[in-house]
Amino acid sequence: MTRKETLSRLRDQVARGIPIIGAGAGTGISAKCEELGGADLIIIYSSGRFRMAGRGSIAGLMPYGDANQIVVEMAREVIPIVKNIPVLAGVCGTDPFRLMPNFLEELKKLGFRGVQNFPTVGLFEGQARRNMEETGMGYDREVEMISIAHDLDLLTTPYVFNPSEATAMAKAGADIIVAHVGTTLKGTIGAKSTVSLDDSVVAIQAMHDAAKEANPDVLVICHGGPVADPEDVEYVLERTDGIVGFYGASSMERLPVEKAITENMKRFKKLHIQKGKTTAKRSTMVARGDVLPTLIFFNEEEARIVEAITARIIPGDPSNPGAKEAGAVIYIDRALAGFFSPLQTFYREGIADFDRTSRSRFGSAFLDLNESQQDEFLRSIEGALGDERLGKLSQFFAVVYQHTLEGTFGDPIYGGNRDAVGWKMVGFPGAQWSYTAEQMRLGFYVTQMDIATLGDLRPTTQSSLERGAKQ
């Protein structure tokens, strides 16, 4: 994707009210998951490696490695795994041991589509910063790097720390100005001291205004300090004028990983060793067929709630399969991680509201209700679209209902309709190449044919027309 194409896509997105979200990646799996989640840009720089090694992001400013060489090494891990969005390099523009035009050309050949100025002297203050400026290692070198990158048609997204720097970067040709308000707070290795969220709003707006005055076409987004969680970003977006997105690094990989691994370990540590005989409990163990495949979007509890809803929409059991046995929830999980990604927040909020309402009405989570209570609950919300209190819940159920049908009767290649049980239920032969005259004859039962899926539609020496054995 070229710089022009990227900017066109981002401007169109902003026009539709969708914020630009850039994500820092210190590992290949971080980049992969960020792209799956819908990130618009991925940025890799030296602090990402330190951050995901359990050190604070500020380690990227210390002499613990060659920052520019680290980015080159990380390119091999990240760039091949990112499929559809630009990957940007964090460049130390003050590096005195590289000819910057040559280095930027090298990055371009490696597959980078843009740059950002990191490590940056912008995070230094006081005497140290003054000495850097006096000895040829100042912020103006970073501005020069951005200007060279712009001339090479690389996307440029520099960090700025005050209005004067915002002006300089905008004049140098920056495409996206990132208003930086300090090292990210929160988590086990995040910074502890920074400006308040309200002070950040003021600082971000001032940097935006300066950049826009220098170049009205520049896009301005925010980053850092107390702006760490989605709620923090929303707070800033609601209180600023012209800020159109957010760059996250710790926010995108370190903080989510800290939470996920910590909570997962706590769940394991809550397990108990059974003392004495366990024969009486074996009959209540989860059957192998009830174990969910690896989830991409849902967590375990969310998946179980959606699975329970699908099981009441199309009930079944192992001998007479329904939506649960067809794995409709897996279709929904995969779809939300891909084509249906705009519905992710809708689903998360809907599931939480769904379970919350169940607890309020019945005193129990939806999963703990018996089938009659679950049916009663679903019937009460099914037609309540006009109800002020239950309308949103009814809308959520309507979407799950539609997706349940798709997951039960769609092609198995999309994750649902396991073993084609939905097609067997209605007597549908699946995705056949074509039909013989005999098969098209009135009175011919298609259940005599082998069911074929999209995954089976590969040219072979034996035509699918020759298959005739009943499945």
The pLDDT of residue 186 is 53
Statement: residue 53 has pLDDT above 90: no
The pLDDT of residue 471 is 41
The pLDDT of residue 470 is 41
Statement: residue 234 has pLDDT above 80: yes
Give the chain's length: 471
User: How much is the average pLDDT of 247-263?
Assistant: 83
The pLDDT of residue 140 is 96
Q: Does 338 or 58 have the greater pLDDT score?
A: 338
Show Cβ contacts of residue 101 under 8 Å, excluding neighbours closer than 6 positions.
148, 152
- With CA atoms as reference, report the closest residue to 24 among 250, 183, 232: 250
The pLDDT of residue 286 is 34
Q: Does 14 or 59 have the greater pLDDT score?
A: 14
Statement: residue 157 has pLDDT above 50: yes
Nearest-angstrom CA–CA distance, 83 and 256: 22
User: How much is the average pLDDT of 133-158?
Assistant: 96
pLDDT in tens, 74-104: 999 999 999 999 999 999 999 999 999 999 9
Given strand 41-44, what is the order of strands in its sheet? 155-156, 114-117, 87-91, 41-44, 20-24, 243-248, 219-223, 176-180, 159-160
Statement: residue 306 has pLDDT above 90: yes
Q: Does 56 or 238 have the greater pLDDT score?
A: 238
% of residues, the chain, pLDDT over 90: 56
The pLDDT of residue 77 is 92
Q: Does 391 or 111 have the greater pLDDT score?
A: 111
Domain with CATH 3.20.20.70 in the chain: 3-259
pLDDT in tens, 317-351: 888 899 999 999 999 999 999 989 999 999 999 99
Please check whether residue 353 is in contact with residue 392, taking contact to mean a CB–CB distance below 8 angstroms.
yes
pLDDT in tens, 167-189: 999 999 999 999 999 876 555 54
Main-chain dihedrals φ then ψ at residue 248, nearest 5 degrees? -125, 140
User: Which CATH superfamily groups domain 3-259?
Assistant: Aldolase class I (3.20.20.70)
Question: Residue 118 carries which side chain, given as an amino acid letter?
Answer: F
Sign of the CA dihedral running 320, 324, 327, 328: positive
Query: Is this model's pTM higher than 0.85 or not?
Result: no
The pLDDT of residue 179 is 96
The pLDDT of residue 288 is 37
User: How much is the average pLDDT of 365-369?
Assistant: 90
Statement: residue 57 has pLDDT above 80: no
Statement: residue 469 has pLDDT above 70: no
